[in-house]
Amino acid sequence: MSETLVLEELSVLFKDVLDNGDISLLSSTTAEDIDEWDSITHMMLVVEIEKKYAIKFTASETRGWNNVGELVKSILQKKS
């Protein structure tokens, strides 16, 4: 599983959960860049990511990502 693939899969997931077809994620994307991404939708995204990759995050992990790139790394670490 590559970083690019996870990024593409996450873009689809973000579009669906946040109901915004214009989202195109980059490693540098942060919550500031997407209007719909706030503390409420953040947890909805976490749930969907956990389901999709069959992984479980800890509370501190969900608070620690500074951008999408760090989220992708976290997913890859758990899948390796």
Please give the residue ranges that form the binding site for another protein (CB under 8 A): 19, 38-41, 43-44, 46-47, 59-60, 62-63
Closest contact distance (angstroms) between CB of 24 and another protein is: 19
Shortest spacing between CB 61 and another protein, in angstroms: 10
From the CB of 68, what's the least distance to another protein, in Å?
18
Please say which residue, 8 or 19, places its beta carbon nearer to another protein. 19
Find all residues with CB under 8 Å of 3, minimum gap 6, and list them: 27, 72, 73, 76
With beta carbons less than 8 A apart as the criterion, state whether 10 and 68 touch: yes
Distance CA 58, CA 25 (A): 23
